Chains A and B, each alone.
Chain A
């Protein structure tokens, strides 16, 4: 498992152990160097101080304490190679005529040998290297033991300190865990360590965004429930009138009304669903390359039957090659809503034009009609959900333009409402950035 505490502890202890080992190695080599220097001097002194006149075999016991202490071996022979003296006959050194210091390999390990010519005799004083190494190792070990003994104490100390440092995280986790879906207020930020503060700040920003999204969803659901009452009331009343009908004609008229009421309720539900799907907070469809001219042709042909039914001349008046990246279904709904609105609010015999133009790296889609237009004062509010202008006979859901704006926002397109020239009438332009 990935744990900051364990990783920190592991790396800190590894680093410490390496530092201790390096210090040990350094103490060892330094001590060894010094011991070499000292003992070499000692060997030379010893060779010089040996009596050089009459050598006779000495009993080995006389040098035993000398040996035991410093592991020294002395041997002397004359220039003819005749052995005169061995301090330790058991471990004979090779007979070598090399004068001065040398290191000799023997079955008992390496030996340091000093040979000197004293009158006619060769005096060799030798010492096992292991003595010096043991000395250096002993020194190093004595220095390291306290440090090594301290390592577990350090480990516990590090463990506790890291734990203390991470405590705020634990507190935040607990505070978040206790929350209900409704409590989206910010987490307290003061007294937090520098390292954790950015995390809590980011969390708080997310919470604030969530709270806003939730608030708008709640408002939307409340609005939607309220708006659904109107068509449902109409349908309920129409059903009762159908039940009351006495004659076949009355019944037929009542059912025709009922059908209209039902269609209107269904339309409202459909628009609500579309709007909910186009909410910016909902995961959007991936954008694909779209031919706007093709889209305009598709929407115009889709609405041609409705326009013909209402005796309105619907057509594509101007087109240009324009490609943008977008969500095709959403754009079709958007342009469809604009054309649908134009047809609804244009009196019979009127005209609705869809046009596509290019201008300074922008593609402009225009829908213009010969209806009554929208007064300047109302133009900002018509994009609000459920806003219906007074005295409009057409029974829309009040959601069409809210949907248009959501989709336009998602495609970073700007919307403009203006008077059609020549008037009267309304022109809606959507401007998309190209490339």
Chain B
């Protein structure tokens, strides 16, 4: 899952990016409102983490423009403004959630997962496909009740595909979900991870749609 983090403070931005990467998210980080708009227009993100007090363009303006364009990307506001009036304003401007600084990394990751879950129309925090159960919070994966050990990248790939069964992702789209800016993408990397996932889970879980990409078939 790829997130855009907009935070002007270098220390906070650095820490949030590192923490979320450790949780298996791909994170792009920009430090002002204009850069955020540019990034939103050129890349596709699963969630936007938005600070309000931004240089060059205020967070609420970025959010307003985003919603006017009809972009439904889940938005989580991260801010030091804790007055009720500020929260109401943020949520009414189109944010999906509001987190006041100082916040906890675990809570931030949990809220991001909740947003992603809602976006994909699921209420159950567990992603289940066939006999495969994926817990996005703990990164635990089990197949027919038996735990399966996956690397962080393998997990991210499996999670992305299993979250929306029946949807075909291109190799480029999957790469985007695995890597943030500045992270070196090795060639054939998606193929390598698909190969090892098939080895661990069985060949039928991930199907290759020739010339288009990969998908997890819908279970009937």
Seen from chain A, the residues whose Cβ lies within 8 Å of a Cβ on chain B are 226, 229-238, 240-241, 244, 257, 260-261, 264, 390-391, 393, 395
Contacts and interface: CB of A to CB of B under 8 A. Distances in A.
6 contacts: A229-B80, A231-B11, A234-B12, A238-B15, A391-B56, A395-B9
A168 to B, nearest CB: 44
A241 B18 contact: yes
Most buried by A among B15, B16, B22: B15
Given A236-B102, A393-B10, 10 more contacts: A229-B102, A233-B9, A233-B80, A233-B103, A235-B102, A237-B12, A237-B15, A237-B105, A241-B22, A391-B55
Q: Which 3 A-B pairs have the closest CB atoms?
A: A390-B55, A237-B15, A234-B11
Contacts, number: 65
Given A234-B9, A240-B104, A391 B15 contact: no
A390 B15 contact: no
A230 B9 contact: yes
Contacts of A390: 8, 32, 55-56
Contacts of A232: 101-102
Interface residues of B, number: 23
A92 B77 CA distance: 129
A362 B189 CA distance: 71
A395 B102 contact: no
Main secondary structure of the interface of A (DSSP, over half): helix
Contact of A234 (B15, B22, B31, B104): B15
Contact of A391 (B12, B32, B80): B32
Interface of B: 8-12, 14-16, 18-19, 22, 31-32, 55-56, 80-81, 101-106
Contacts of A236: 102-104
A233 B101 contact: yes
B56 A230 contact: no
Nearest to A253: B18
A232 B80 CA distance: 11
A260 B9 CA distance: 13
Most buried by B among A234, A236, A260, A391: A234
A393 to B, nearest CB: 7
Contacts of A235: 102
Nearest to B81: A226
A229 to B, nearest CB: 4
Given A233-B12, A234-B9, A240 B105 contact: yes
Nearest to A226: B80
B12 A230 contact: yes
Contacts of A393: 10
B13 to A, nearest CB: 9
Nearest to B14: A257
Contacts of B32: 390-391
Nearest to A261: B11
B11 A260 contact: yes
B22 A395 contact: no
B11 A257 contact: yes
B7 to A, nearest CB: 10
A201 B19 CA distance: 61
A231 to B, nearest CB: 8
A381 to B, nearest CB: 13
B16 A237 contact: yes
A237 B102 CA distance: 8
A235 B103 CA distance: 11
A391 B32 CA distance: 8
Contacts of B31: 391
A230 B80 contact: yes
Contacts of B16: 237
Nearest to B15: A237
A241 B105 contact: yes
A240 B32 CA distance: 25
Nearest to B23: A244
Nearest to A237: B15
Most buried by A among B32, B56, B105, B106: B105
Given A229-B101, A230-B80, A264 B19 contact: no
A235 B80 CA distance: 14
B32 to A, nearest CB: 7
B19 to A, nearest CB: 6
Contacts of B8: 390
A393 B103 CA distance: 23
A235 B15 CA distance: 9
A233 B19 CA distance: 13
A244 B22 contact: yes
Contacts of B9: 230, 233-234, 395
Most buried by A among B8, B31, B56, B80: B80
Contact of A240 (B19, B55, B80, B101): B19
Contacts of B80: 226, 229-230, 233
Contacts of A240: 15, 19, 104-106
A232 B16 CA distance: 14
A390 B56 CA distance: 7
A241 B106 CA distance: 11
A396 B15 CA distance: 18
Nearest to A394: B10
Contacts of A230: 9, 12, 80, 101
A109 B10 CA distance: 116
Most buried by A among B11, B19, B104: B11
Contacts of B102: 229, 232-233, 235-237
A422 B9 CA distance: 33
Given A390-B55, A391-B32, A257 B101 contact: no
Nearest to B108: A237
B15 A257 contact: yes
Contacts of B14: 257
A257 B19 CA distance: 13
Contacts of A229: 80, 101-102
